[in-house]
């Protein structure tokens, strides 16, 4: 067993798996910590907010979850990206009504038009209203 494997396995607890399943169940939607906490409680899973935050940090380090900070409501939202590692290399549209996230093609922004500017894709979300919510 390698050192990195020991660390990854040490954090692969039942609580961590339950938390990850809640986030995964949202498909392409972002979910806030309070929504995660409520979903866990609904399943009679007791987990403190500090534990949730700690596990979220681990999931982000492992590139299983991405974070979006909404400056309007001053909340962090999280989305499962473990099945799509390219998710950190393109922009996303997020519906402000239903929360669905739409992946934009990687070449949406022409690099020639934004020379000398590196986009931080994992923290860049374009908000709007999807076709279903209009």
The structure tokens 């070449």 sit at 107
Q: Considering only CA atoms, which of 90, 34, 88 is closest in space to residue 60?
A: 88
What range defines the domain where residue 103 resides? 3-128
Segment holding 31, helix H or strand E: strand 31-32
**3 Cα distance to chain centroid:** 26
Predicted confidence at residue 1, as pLDDT, reads: 37
The CATH number of the domain holding residue 16 is 1.10.10.10
Total domains in the chain come to: 1
Q: For residue 134, is it within any domain?
A: no
pLDDT digits (tens, 9 = 90+) for 29-85: 889 999 999 999 999 999 999 999 999 999 988 888 888 888 778 888 898 888 776
Burial-class residue 130 by CB neighbours within 10 Å (0-12, 13-18, 19+): middle
- Which pTM value belongs to this model? 0.72
């Amino acid at each position: 067993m390698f050192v990195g494997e020991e660390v990854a396995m040490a954090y692969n607890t039942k609580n961590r798996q339950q938390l990850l399943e809640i986030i995964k169940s949202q498909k392409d939607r972002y979910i806030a910590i309070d929504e995660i906490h409520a979903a866990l409680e609904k399943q009679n899973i007791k987990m403190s907010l500090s534990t949730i935050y700690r596990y979220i940090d681990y999931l982000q380090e492992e590139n299983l979850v991405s974070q979006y900070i909404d400056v309007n409501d001053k909340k962090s939202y999280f989305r499962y990206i473990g099945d799509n590692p390219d998710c950190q290399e393109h922009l996303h549209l997020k519906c402000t009504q239903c929360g669905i996230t739409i992946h934009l093609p990687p070449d949406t922004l022409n690099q020639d038009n934004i020379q000398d500017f590196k986009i931080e894709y994992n923290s860049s979300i374009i908000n709007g209203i999807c076709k279903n919510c209009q």
